[in-house]
Structure 1
Amino acid sequence: MAELFIKQAKQYAQTRPSYPPELFQFIASHAPHHNLAWDVGTGSGQAARSLAGIYKNVIATDTSPKQLEYASKLPNIRYQCTSPIMSFSELEQNVAKQSSVDLVTIAQAIHWFDLPKFYQQVKWVLKKPHGVIAAWCYTVPQVNDSVDAVFQPFYTVDCEPYWEPQRKMVDEKYISIDFPFEAVDGKENTGPFEFVIEKLMDLDTYFTYLRSWSAYQTAKDKGVELLADNVVENFKRAWNENGHSQKVVRYPIYLRIGKVGNNN
């Protein structure tokens, strides 16, 4: 997974949206303790940065040292580059001891994981009972009718051959993802629960965001330029239709959240 984002790590850090405070408040309200959080697949640390304002300490891991170069440095965040699959001894050495973590978060990344093995690790590090796991994804950006009408065929036709199969789980809003945890207190199920990100962008930033996609890089490696001149012109025409250079771009977020019990 990490190699899909190495070449565009800088664009990824610059344009990937931060997550809304409401998301972290919701998660924290269902986690009894706020001492230690583990942010897995942290990338350039968007989620870790927000967790650091709530949790006493955050351990943020990623398999890509290039991504971690661009992560926000805060005194209570420890960044750690790890192998894709750690042994339990490596987990204890690089992340945390058994039953010591209050919260595990995975932002826009769990669809890349070997889930059975990862869930074993999650259940090993989380406090029992009531340690919480929260995994979320955001789906495609929404701007307005004109821009979205250009975006849809770009996403569903032009980019489709270059997405990895795991992308389907994001398109399905994590509904289909295996998530073997109990509902947190006060909820009847593990979701998905919906939130929204809003980010102000100009067209150049929007293009930089599209170029940060793994599908864009995969196509480029195969000699295909997805943002060809005619596609760029179509986006420009739609973007400039109302004369405003900056627009609010919305990303729907879908959260799965659960807890471990004594029997997990």
Structure 2
Amino acid sequence: MENLFSFYGYRFHWLNILDLAIVIFLVVQLYRLLKGSLAFNIFVGLLIIYLAYFVVQHLQMPILSTLLQSFINVGLIAIIIIFQPEIRKFLLVLGKKAPLSKDSFFTKLFLPDKFKSYKEEENIINEVITAIARMAGSRTGALIVIANTYRVKFDTASSIAIDSNINAKLLESIFCKGSPLHDGALIIVGNKILAAKVILPVSENPNLPTRIGLRHRSAVGITEHSDNLALIVSEETGAISYAQDGNLVQDVSLEELKVKMYEVMVDGY
């Protein structure tokens, strides 16, 4: 009995509180994982269906209850199929990061924000945004891939290794039309420019806009099966776009791009 306590007439066991706290924690982390993606809208739709099932069951509506029960019975398999990229992304974070490193998944989850320092990430973001703003103004085509959790795999035969600190002027010079490195993508891993003139896999998604070129399709292709963020500057119009999780978001502002980079590099998952 010492493990029970009352609240407004209801009696709770301490394990009930722990159970509720764990569920809330998992929901918050699930929201952080899915926020800003199409999968989040799908998740909300599935949640509404589950809530509707409990409502119609309580109202004793047998036909709807049967239909929704049939859906729920195969719900787990459906969720695995629909959220395959997000599940893969979550497992990559767990498997590729050392559990006790300062950038590990568990550190990001449990370390209070006030103890985190993101000065390096903020500096990188500012340098990249500065370069993209200038390249957009001069209509200099660019494709920058930010690998967040592991080294992106690409064809090393055509690429040029750089291993340099990230600097706005260096980024501009690489994509300058007279530069021998301006064709292909530039890869950023951590706080370093890893390589330039990188040939990326081209997406074969038929739903992409027909007017986009090879640069945009390559950006989508490199993000379809990884957690990379690809930033694109159009050579024809100077418009800024980004690709993430196989989705292309076009004509974004510098502020929107900066927010997205913060989500990937600072907020994490």
Q: Same fold (TM over 0.5)?
A: no
Q: Which has more radius of gyration?
A: 2
Q: So what's the TM-score if we normalise by structure 1?
A: 0.25
Q: So what's the TM-score if we normalise by structure 2?
A: 0.25
